[in-house]
Amino acid sequence: MKKSLIAVSISFALLNVSGVVQAAGDINAGQGKSGSCTSCHGEKGNSAMPLFPKLAAQNEGYLVKQMQAFKDGSRNNSSMSAMVAGFSDQDMQDIAAFYAAQTVTENAAPQLNPDDLDDIDDNNQLTEAEKEDARQALQKQHDDLMSMGYDVYRNGDLDNEISACIACHGPEGEGNEPASFPALKGQHADYLVKSLSDYKTGARSNNADNMMHMIAKKMSEDEIKAMSLYISTMK
Ligand code: HEC
Ligand code: HEC
């Protein structure tokens, strides 16, 4: 009993120390400075639009780095560059501290593509039984992508020399704050597909040591879809 109390107080002390060292940003100031971001990224960093990334619970160092990259043009997105053009380093740190302190929302369970289902429903040349087979084939495709995502996240893909995502993005997709590796859990699948595709083509090239480009360039379209679907369900 005594032992565990000591352990608790030591870890509190450590928490306090690291809290002081890292508290470069001011959460309240950040909230005030983030007013112009809510139309796209949501009230507390949980955007409703699938191509606008969620910022809630994202790691502070990563957020600052991306804002700097939009500002200096090393990450390309004209609306984002305009948004951060007038920001000082302190503004970015405050905003990052605000978003990092929020809670990321869970996504609804991913659905089969409704257009594909409509195509099956509307196909008059199929009998009811054939339609049911087609729906089941679609469901299987979806389930296969989800299990591929689960597997590659944990184990990587040895055949194609793709590293396991878990090593840098954490067992629960929480990222790695000291290393500024981003959190991924709860992110929108569509945004993840866009990010991975941008790393693959080199359209997004500000990543340190080209780490994500080296990984994404070996990923197939199916693998990108699988990773994105699976990661969007992590919580
Ligand atoms: C008009 C819509 C819009 C507004 C307003 C906007 N953003 Fe963005 N933001 C985007 C889009 C779109 C992206 C993704 C860009 C891409 O595809 O690479 C993005 C990306 C980001 C990222 C990178 C996230 C990641 O996971 O890599 C950060 C950080 C960010 N925005 C911060 C802000 C801040 C801070 C503000 C307010 C000052 C803001 N944004 C306002 C649309 C917007
Ligand atoms: C060696 C470490 C490492 C490994 C392994 C790794 N990543 Fe990353 N990942 C990073 C870093 C660092 C970044 C941020 C790069 C930047 O600044 O753009 C990143 C960024 C990302 C992003 C963009 C996040 C955002 O908010 O825009 C996605 C998506 C991603 N990684 C997915 C994956 C997937 C999927 C895997 C496994 C197949 C993987 N990563 C493996 C280090 C890694």
Query: What ligand 2 atom has the least distance to the C-alpha of 219?
Result: 38
For residue 6, pLDDT over 60 is answered with no
Query: What ligand 1 atom has the least distance to the C-alpha of 187?
Result: 26
211: pLDDT confidence band, cut at 50, 70 and 90?
very high
Residues with CB under 6 A from ligand 1: 34, 36-37, 39-41, 51-53, 55, 63, 66-67, 77, 79-80, 83, 95, 182, 194
Predicted local distance difference test score (pLDDT) of residue 24: 84
Predicted local distance difference test score (pLDDT) of residue 112: 76
The first and second tokens of residue 121, run together, are 């429903």
User: If you average pLDDT over residues 56-61, what whole number do you get?
Assistant: 97
> Is residue 129 packed enough to be buried (19+ CB in 10 Å), middle (13-18) or exposed (0-12)?
exposed
Predicted local distance difference test score (pLDDT) of residue 9: 43
Task: Produce one character per residue of 81-95: b if its CB has 16 or more CB atoms within 10 Å, e if not.
Answer: bebbeebeeebbbbb
Please name the residue whose Cα sits nearest to atom 27 of ligand 2: 195
Please name the residue whose Cα sits nearest to atom 1 of ligand 2: 168
Predicted local distance difference test score (pLDDT) of residue 75: 96
Please, are residues 181 and 175 in contact by the beta-carbon 8 Å criterion?
yes
CA distance 28 to 151: 40
Nearest ligand, CA 154: 2
If one residue of 215, 223, 234 were mutated to test the ligand 2 pocket, choosing by the most ligand atoms within 8 A of its CB, it would be 215
Q: Is 181 in the pocket of ligand 2 (CB under 6 A)?
A: yes
Query: What ligand 2 atom has the least distance to the C-alpha of 231?
Result: 35
